[in-house]
């Protein structure tokens, strides 16, 4: 699935298209859940499992199921988050890369892939660091973790970067929680519980 570069498409635009059908992004932590993620309404699936030996087959399965595969490179066994690592994922057919590292995301953007920044909301210092990082590089979306803390900082992120697509993940246990996050300004949620992928 070819991705447009940031020079020809607004940052975040392609990602917004992918999440338009459902606010729930299946986050696959175990390969056996791949069929359920393919059956879900979402056009995009996050891969939070696998290794350099298995990712190509996992991505192929998602692509055959009509899904855009976005891989968390930080969780992928045996692969570094450097330029060759990103190039390898591109050769596997991924649509995007998730990482906490700006340089990894910058390399992903340079290859025409979606760049999803993971930001952990541990404390006010971590939030400030995340906001400063966005001054150097604006990803296609920021995933705020854990999700229950996201509504507390949405206004801060929106004030400095109103065009930024904000998502959330982690510690989501019900459809009601997903609805509350969307009402708070979160555009989509990544969820690892397959029973919630139907939303």
Per the domain annotation, does 137 fall within a domain?
yes
pTM of the model: 0.93
Please check whether residue 2 lies inside any domain of the structure.
Answer: no
Q: What is the pLDDT of residues 126-183, one digit of tens each?
A: 999 999 999 999 999 999 999 999 999 999 999 999 999 999 999 999 999 999 999 9
Q: Structurally, how many domains does the chain consist of? A: 1
The answer to whether residue 5 sits within a structural domain is no
DSSP strand E in 50-193: where?
68-72, 96-99, 114-120, 141-145, 166-169, 188-191
Summarize pLDDT for 18-55 with one digit per residue, the tens: 999 999 999 999 999 999 999 999 999 999 999 999 99
Domain CATH code at residue 173: 3.20.20.70
Query: Which residues span the domain enclosing 79?
Result: 13-196
In a domain, 34, yes or no: yes
Strands 96-99 and 68-72: parallel
Only one residue has tokens 């030996």, namely 53
Residue 27 located in a structural domain: yes
Q: Can you tell me the distance from the alpha carbon of 128 to that of 115, in angstroms, rounded to the nearest whole number?
A: 20
6: in domain: no
């Amino acid at each position: 699935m070819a991705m447009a570069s940031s020079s020809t498409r607004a940052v975040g635009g392609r990602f917004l298209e992918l999440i338009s059908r459902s606010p729930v992004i299946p986050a696959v932590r175990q390969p056996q859940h791949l069929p359920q993620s393919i059956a879900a309404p979402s056009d995009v699936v996050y891969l939070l499992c696998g290794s350099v030996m298995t990712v190509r087959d996992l991505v192929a399965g998602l692509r055959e199921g009509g899904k855009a595969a976005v891989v968390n490179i930080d969780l992928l066994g045996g692969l570094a988050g450097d330029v060759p690592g990103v190039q390898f994922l591109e050769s596997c057919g991924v649509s995007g890369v998730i990482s906490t590292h700006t340089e990894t995301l910058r390399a992903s953007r340079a290859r025409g892939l979606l760049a999803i920044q993971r930001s952990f909301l541990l404390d006010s210092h971590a939030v400030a660091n995340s906001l400063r990082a966005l001054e150097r590089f604006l990803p296609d979306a920021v995933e705020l973790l854990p999700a229950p803390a996201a509504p507390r900082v949405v206004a801060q992120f929106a004030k400095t970067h109103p065009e930024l697509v904000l998502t959330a993940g982690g510690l989501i246990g019900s459809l009601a929680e997903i609805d509350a996050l969307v009402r708070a300004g979160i555009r989509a949620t990544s969820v690892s519980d397959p029973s919630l992928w139907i939303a």
